């Protein structure tokens, strides 16, 4: 086939596509007139709109003022607020989960005289789920193995208390209080939870400042406090940011009682059946039990949570 013939064929194809497009538009306009359905693009109607999010003039973390009058602070917080407001499905899940898990976290924070705002740290760390990070940090508070043991959490093949919401929160409280004593600031204590005290000390020495909002930190830690603040703003007042969830939409707290175990358990499926539940439900309420048995050679005392009798938990 000659080059001239190929060009003619290509031109014919292009003209055919244009003609098909014109016909399609005419058909659409004709159908619009017949059905009464308007073309939103032609009318300039916007079915979905994105707007900036207004920052409050006065924001605090753990009682400490956030300097939103600093242009960099304002812009960094704006970024995290926009990310979380417009990641709607994810943020709605956080709102639902918070209703179930915040009460337990709040009790431990209050008991340890740690500001209530640190419950939002758990959200930033794990989305209130028992995640395992690529660095093998585990649970709501994302403890790695060595740090968990340093803070008196049991970690082995059968029991891993990093998955225990109350005990891991206790360990987090101990770390945060130590950091607060060291830095004299809850904001810096929160930053140290992300970067570690050694890493934070290096930056304080290098930059000659111990004020979080004056420090240039790595990408993750530099965004960390702002993400916590954005989560606090949304979860403490969701309707202000367009999130509407009624009581029936939230994940409820399911009442439980504790069974004391101070010896071995040969089979947790059999153990669960004694209390009218199955193995899966037992593990949902006790994710820190990591095997189907508990050898317990030292006869330690453990408290296993069981849904209260008479509850059909699948109805919650």
pLDDT tens digit sequence for 132-187: 999 999 999 999 999 999 999 999 999 999 999 999 999 999 999 999 999 999 99
Chain segment 42-93, per-residue pLDDT in tens: 455 657 788 899 999 999 999 999 999 999 999 999 999 999 999 999 999 9
Final residue before a domain boundary, out of 249, 267, 300: 249
291 plus 272 within the same structural domain: yes
Give a yes or no: residue 189 inside a domain.
yes
Q: Identify whether residues 134 and 264 lie together within a single domain.
A: no
pLDDT higher than 90, residue 4: no
**Confidence tier at 304 by pLDDT (50, 70, 90):** very high
Q: Are residues 163 and 232 in the same domain?
A: yes
CA dist 185 and 220 (Å) reads 20
Alpha carbons 193 and 221: distance in angstroms, whole number: 9
Assess whether 217 and 161 both reside in one domain.
Answer: yes
Same structural domain, 102 and 195: yes
C-alpha 106/C-alpha 166 separation (Å) is: 10
User: 261 and 155, same structural domain?
Assistant: no
Statement to judge: residues 88 and 14 lie in one domain: no
Q: Which domain holds residue 305?
A: 256-315
Q: Is residue 299 part of a domain?
A: yes
Judge whether 53 lies within some domain: no
Number of domains composing the chain: 3
Residue 55, domain member (yes or no): no
Does a structural domain hold residue 49?
no
CATH at 207: 1.10.530.10
Final residue before a domain boundary, out of 233, 249, 265: 249
Query: Domain check: are 127 and 242 in the same one?
Result: yes
For the question of whether the overall pTM of this predicted structure is more than 0.95, the answer is: no
**Considering the chain, what is the average pLDDT of its residues?**
88
**190 within a domain of the structure (yes/no):** yes
- Same domain, yes or no: 86 and 177: yes
Residues 235 and 262 in one domain: no
pLDDT confidence of residue 302: 98
Is 50 inside any structural domain? no
CA distance 316 to 312: 8
Does residue 51 lie in a domain region? no
What pLDDT does 9 receive?
A: 44
Greater model confidence, 122 or 29 = 122
Pick from 1-10, 37-46, 90-99, 241-250: least confident: 1-10
Same domain as 83, residue 34: no
Q: Do residue 112 and residue 238 come from a single domain?
A: yes
Domain C-terminal end among 191, 221, 249: 249
């Amino acid at each position: 086939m000659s080059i001239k013939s190929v060009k003619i064929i290509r031109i014919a194809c292009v003209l055919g596509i244009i003609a098909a497009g014109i016909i399609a538009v005419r058909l659409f306009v004709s159908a619009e007139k017949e059905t009464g359905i308007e073309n939103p693009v032609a009318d300039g109607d916007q079915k979905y709109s994105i707007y900036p999010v207004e920052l409050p003039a006065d924001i605090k973390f753990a009682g400490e003022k956030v300097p939103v009058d600093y242009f960099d602070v304002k812009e960094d917080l704006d970024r995290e607020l926009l990310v979380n407001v417009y990641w709607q499905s994810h943020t709605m899940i956080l709102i639902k989960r918070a209703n179930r898990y915040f009460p337990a976290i709040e009790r431990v924070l209050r008991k340890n005289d740690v500001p209530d705002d640190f419950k939002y740290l758990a959200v930033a760390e794990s989305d209130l789920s028992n995640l395992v990070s690529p660095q093998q940090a585990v649970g709501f508070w994302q403890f790695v193995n060595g740090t968990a043991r340093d803070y008196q959490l049991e970690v082995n093949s059968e029991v891993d208390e990093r998955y225990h919401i109350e005990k891991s929160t206790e360990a987090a409280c101990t770390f945060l209080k130590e950091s607060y004593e060291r830095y004299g600031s809850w904001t810096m204590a929160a930053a140290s939870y992300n970067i570690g005290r050694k890493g934070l000390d290096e930056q304080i020495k290098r930059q000659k400042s111990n004020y979080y909002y004056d420090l240039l930190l790595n990408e993750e830690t530099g965004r960390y406090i702002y993400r916590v603040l954005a989560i606090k703003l949304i979860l403490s007042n969701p309707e202000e940011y367009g999130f509407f969830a009624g009581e029936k939409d939230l994940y409820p707290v399911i009442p439980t009682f504790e069974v004391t175990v101070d010896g071995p358990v040969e089979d947790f499926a059999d153990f669960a059946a004694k209390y009218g539940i199955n193995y899966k439900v037992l593990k949902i309420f006790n994710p820190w039990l990591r095997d189907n048995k508990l050898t317990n050679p030292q006869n330690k005392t453990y408290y296993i949570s069981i849904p209260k009798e008479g509850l059909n938990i699948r109805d919650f």
